[in-house]
Chain A
Amino acid sequence: MSNTQSEDKKAEASQQPQQQKPTVLEEDDEFEDFPVDDWPENETEQASGSTNGNNVHLWEESWDDDDAAEDFSKQLKEELKKVEASH
């Protein structure tokens, strides 16, 4: 079955020569073994994160876009005005 997969990929590649060659599973997809078994908490990601900047902010919770000047919003606004006028 893995054989047919690779054949499929070959077929795809020949159909679309302009596309990149099919990527086989890359090494970086594999979770490597750690070179050491254990480490103290002060060598963890969390420790380094909280020392440089107190509890750095990793995630954006508020991402709603209220910028009326942004291109998409501007076009949408124009479009909705047209609808309003036609009614």
Chain B
Amino acid sequence: MSFQGNSVLDRFLVSLAEIVRDRDGAKLQDFLQIEPPLPDVYGQMVDELRQQYPNGSPKEVDLQRRCEGLVPKTAGSSSWTAFPTFMKLYFCFLRDVNVENLLETYNMLKVLLNQCVIALGDSQFGIVVLPTVLYLSKVLAKLAMGLDRRPELVAHLLRLETGPDQEESTEKVTLVEKSANVVREAFIKCLTDRSGTPGVHGKPEGKRVGIYLMANLCLKLLFQCGKLRNAEQMFASITAQSPPLKHFPASQRVTYLYYLGRYLFSNNLFFPAQIALQAAYDQCHREAINQKRLILTYLISCNIVLGRFPSMHLLQRPESQGLADKFVPLCQLIVRGDYIAFREHLTVESPTTEWFARKGILLPLRNRCEILVWRSLARKVFIHGGFHGDTQGQAQRGPPPFLYLTKLEAAVRWLQSQHPSSSPLSVASPFSLNSKVSANKSQYGSQIVSIIADPDFAFLDTKGVNKAAPDASVLAKFADYLCPDGFFDATGQWQSNPTRSLIDGTPDTDYSQYELNPYAEDPEDAIDEPSPLMREMESILASLLTQGLMRGYLTHRNPRFAIPGARLRGALPTGFPNVWQTIYARESEDMGVPGWVKPPPTMAAPVALGGGGRVVNLSGARPVGAQ
């Protein structure tokens, strides 16, 4: 930069006045450097500032007055008062900042950015500081995220800052979240610019050019501090007020669609998330490998949940490096149908889990994909143990293909026997005495759903606690004896027992040996007493049927899964339809992605005049030959 005049500061101010007059936002940002290492000329200016306008001296008022001269005076309209205040803060920042103290630097920079955002709010001149707002926001974000990664650097300072007078009830807001809040203010100023055409019919003009620049920075910070919920209002505002995304530069589009996709993903909206992330991937610059890899991480996760696996072709691309190792074993486990192996793969202790957890995809994958594993298992059991119907096609009225669920039950018990050590079930069933076979013998709680033991309650599983409370089965059988509604005490007085507590304390006798068994065989083996495991499997299959991932019906008595109407297409495709196609058919009725503004649909020219508007409802029509 070239300055004419006496001191550097004088020349700097003259140039600034010209820049403001020319409304050259980019040049203004170029002038207002703050990040070290600064050019020497800034050092000279800092020296002059310290000499002429020392911190706290009455001369600071003069500095403010000089800054006021930067703004053109217009008669009648209010002048841009926020800008001189911002400029004075800028000079004070340069004069006082001590970059050794990162927290202090952060706070000063936040105040500076805040004032710059206020200056951005001016309807006439605000746009001049837009590039500066973006620049300061980026520096603030970098600083906050750097401090966030190294909390030990600011721990002692934060402790000093939050003194004893601070209320404990107030929620602690991290530096990153504070930064996000400032950046969001700038975003709102850009979004609500009233010049030109606003909304979906508008173009990125005026301050609206900054909508996605500010939104993307704010989203980055919100993802970093884990306050995704705060992004909801941003997406709603964008949907309501932003011009279509396609009018913005590719870098902003791709970055925005990436964050939008991740937001939708973390809200379990996998289908729209998949659309947003696929678009981010498609529109990404082909050489931006790192960005593409991050997009793919979430795009692949989405697709797996929706029943679509990455192809080898995709996994061999340079941006997929390392992803195959993570996702291929997962897909193989889904295909195999061994639900215990699947759980073991994604359990907390598993070494593979670390990466999934860090990316924030562990829980969605674990919770959403298990149902696909069950589908695979049911399918394989049907293939090898089901009745496939009369394949000759002769018997028109033969029974439909079906599977006895006892076979699925046997398969599950076999799987459990294959994984004796893992048995999350031994943890899940608190009354089990023998952890090895607990899964099969447990009469309580879940037979197959793993419940991760909360360490606070870990000791409830131990036998010691077991003794303190009598077994529920003992109580069920002998409650009239152990907990009667009253009893005679030692003095012969009748004492009523309205709470039905144990009158002799915890029983220490094994009552089972005194019990007479009137049945010739063990009642547990009776056919009309389905095991708890059977009950759970019926629930799982019912869930698969409700989701359309299996088709047919269940019979409860003599439990079966039957596949009617399979004569034409065969039992397997009918009973176990393609997962992705099923989900796609259901979800694609609404291809809209909340938060992604598209141009309003243009009126299509009527194709055929005669057919226009006439809709024939075929939902009640039957296929030819149907009876």
A24–B151 CA distance with the chains assembled, in angstroms: 12
Contacting A at CB under 8 A, from B122-162, are 145, 148-149, 151-152, 155
Interface SS, B side: helix
Across the interface, A79 reaches (CB within 8 A) one of B288, B337, B414, namely: B414
List of A residues within 8 angstroms of B152 by Cβ: 3, 6
Q: Is the CB of B281 within 8 A of A37?
A: no
In the complex formed, the residue of B with least CB distance to A46 is: B282
| B311 within 8 Å of A (CB atoms) | yes
Q: Is the CB of A48 within 8 A of B286?
A: yes
List of B residues within 8 angstroms of A29 by Cβ: 294, 358-359
In the complex formed, the residue of A with least CB distance to B313 is: A56
Contacting A at CB under 8 A, from B374-409, are 376, 379-381, 383-385, 406-407
In the complex formed, the residue of A with least CB distance to B385 is: A80
List of A residues within 8 angstroms of B268 by Cβ: none
Give how many A-B residue pairs fall within 8 Å (CB-CB): 146
Minimum Cβ distance to chain A for residue B623 (Å): 25
A15–B315 CA distance with the chains assembled, in angstroms: 36
| A54 within 8 Å of B (CB atoms) | no
List of A residues within 8 angstroms of B381 by Cβ: 76, 80
| B55 within 8 Å of A (CB atoms) | no
Minimum Cβ distance to chain B for residue A20 (Å): 8
Interface SS, A side: loop
Please count how many residues in chain B sit with their CB below 8 Å of the partner chain's CB atoms: 65
Contacting A at CB under 8 A, from B549-572, are 572
Across the interface, B251 reaches (CB within 8 A) one of A23, A34, A60, namely: A34
List of B residues within 8 angstroms of A73 by Cβ: 380, 383-384
Given contacts A39-B285, A61-B578, contact A31 B384 (CB under 8 A): no
As a 0/1 sequence over residues 287 to 324 of chain B, the CB contacts with chain A under 8 angstroms (1 = contact) are 11011111000000001000111110110000000000
Given contacts A3-B155, A76-B411, contact A34 B383 (CB under 8 A): no
Q: Is the CB of B310 within 8 A of A59?
A: yes
Q: Is the CB of A2 within 8 A of B250?
A: no
A57–B576 CA distance with the chains assembled, in angstroms: 23
Q: Is the CB of A43 within 8 A of B286?
A: yes
Q: Is the CB of B379 within 8 A of A64?
A: yes
Q: Is the CB of A28 within 8 A of B290?
A: yes
Q: Is the CB of A72 within 8 A of B286?
A: no
Q: Is the CB of A68 within 8 A of B383?
A: yes
| B451 within 8 Å of A (CB atoms) | no
Q: Which of B285, B334, B572 has the most chain A CB atoms inside 10 A of its CB?
A: B285
In the complex formed, the residue of A with least CB distance to B584 is: A61
List of B residues within 8 angstroms of A44 by Cβ: 250, 282-286
The range of chain A's interface size is 35 or more
List of A residues within 8 angstroms of B155 by Cβ: 3
Question: Which of B102-110, B254-262, B456-464, B507-515 forms contacts with chain A?
Answer: B254-262
As a 0/1 sequence over residues 346 to 380 of chain B, the CB contacts with chain A under 8 angstroms (1 = contact) are 00000100100011000000000000000010011
| A25 within 8 Å of B (CB atoms) | yes
Across the interface, A58 reaches (CB within 8 A) one of B287, B290, B311, B336, namely: B311
List of B residues within 8 angstroms of A66 by Cβ: 383, 572
A45–B257 CA distance with the chains assembled, in angstroms: 15
As a 0/1 sequence over residues 40 to 75 of chain A, the CB contacts with chain B under 8 angstroms (1 = contact) are 000111111100000011111111111010001100
A24–B282 CA distance with the chains assembled, in angstroms: 30
Contacting A at CB under 8 A, from B238-265, are 249-252, 254-255, 258-259
List of A residues within 8 angstroms of B259 by Cβ: 31
Q: Is the CB of B311 within 8 A of A62?
A: no
Minimum Cβ distance to chain B for residue A37 (Å): 5
List of B residues within 8 angstroms of A20 by Cβ: 351, 354
List of A residues within 8 angstroms of B288 by Cβ: 34
Minimum Cβ distance to chain B for residue A72 (Å): 5
| B93 within 8 Å of A (CB atoms) | no
Q: Which of B148, B294, B383 has the most chain A CB atoms inside 10 A of its CB?
A: B383
List of A residues within 8 angstroms of B19 by Cβ: none
Across the interface, B336 reaches (CB within 8 A) one of A3, A34, A72, A79, namely: A72
Q: Is the CB of B249 within 8 A of A37?
A: yes
| A11 within 8 Å of B (CB atoms) | no
| B267 within 8 Å of A (CB atoms) | no
Minimum Cβ distance to chain A for residue B108 (Å): 22
List of A residues within 8 angstroms of B303 by Cβ: 59
Minimum Cβ distance to chain B for residue A13 (Å): 13
List of A residues within 8 angstroms of B293 by Cβ: 28
Q: Which of A46, A64, A68, A73 has the most chain B CB atoms inside 10 A of its CB?
A: A64
List of B residues within 8 angstroms of A47 by Cβ: 286
Q: Is the CB of B354 within 8 A of A23?
A: yes
Q: Is the CB of B291 within 8 A of A76?
A: no
Q: Is the CB of B376 within 8 A of A36?
A: no
Q: Is the CB of A3 within 8 A of B151?
A: yes
In the complex formed, the residue of B with least CB distance to A16 is: B349
As a 0/1 sequence over residues 3 to 33 of chain A, the CB contacts with chain B under 8 angstroms (1 = contact) are 1001000000000000110011110111111
Across the interface, A76 reaches (CB within 8 A) one of B250, B309, B414, namely: B414
List of A residues within 8 angstroms of B291 by Cβ: 31-32, 34
List of B residues within 8 angstroms of A63 by Cβ: 309, 331, 334-335
Given contacts A1-B172, A23-B358, A66-B383, contact A61 B331 (CB under 8 A): no
Minimum Cβ distance to chain A for residue B214 (Å): 14
Q: Is the CB of A57 within 8 A of B384?
A: no
Q: Is the CB of B337 within 8 A of A45?
A: no
Q: Is the CB of A60 within 8 A of B308?
A: yes
Q: Is the CB of B285 within 8 A of A36?
A: yes
| B338 within 8 Å of A (CB atoms) | yes
| B410 within 8 Å of A (CB atoms) | yes
Q: Is the CB of B294 within 8 A of A2?
A: no
List of A residues within 8 angstroms of B421 by Cβ: none
| B31 within 8 Å of A (CB atoms) | no
| B580 within 8 Å of A (CB atoms) | yes
What 8 A-B pairs are tightest by C-beta distance, nearest first?
A: A38-B249, A46-B282, A34-B251, A80-B385, A77-B384, A83-B410, A60-B309, A59-B308
9 contacts between A and B (CB under 8 A): A3-B151, A31-B220, A31-B255, A31-B291, A38-B249, A43-B287, A62-B578, A68-B383, A73-B383
